[in-house]
Amino acid sequence: MIATSPAVLLLHERGNLSIDDPVKKHLPEFTGDGHDAVTLRHLLTNTSGLRPDISLVGWKGHAECIAKCVAEKLQSKPGEKLKYSDINFQLIDEIFRRVTSCRLDLFCKKEIFGPL
């Protein structure tokens, strides 16, 4: 979260994305079952309605993790409840990769922590 929020806000400032974009704009597979209403702001503020985490059983690797995260059902309406969710940050990481073609950690090293 210390790196994720500033990185996403930097992309917002540069016009690469908006924190009010629906998640499905960047992850078209994140749709249906209430997912259409979830925005990047919801992910960043842990108000997406997604549960705290996913089971580590039955998957291996980044692509399978994202597939499981995208398939998650909402437990509440977006914006209704605050509940920390690792799933939110897995989805943000994937959006970040798709928007920048760069891993979040490498971007942060170059654009945020390096200059500091």
42-46, 60-64, 84-88, 101-105: least confidently modelled range:
60-64
CA-CA distance, 97 to 107, in Å (whole number)? 10
pLDDT confidence of 1, banded at 50, 70, 90? low
CA-CA distance, 40 to 14, in Å (whole number)? 16
For 45-67, write each residue's pLDDT tens digit. Answer: 999 999 999 887 877 888 999 99
Q: What is the pLDDT of residue 2?
A: 81
Burial of 85 (0-12, 13-18, 19+ CB in 10 A): buried
**Which CATH number is associated with domain 4-109?**
1.20.58.710
For the chain, the domains span: 4-109
Mean pLDDT calculated for residue range 93-104 = 95
Its pTM stands at 0.92
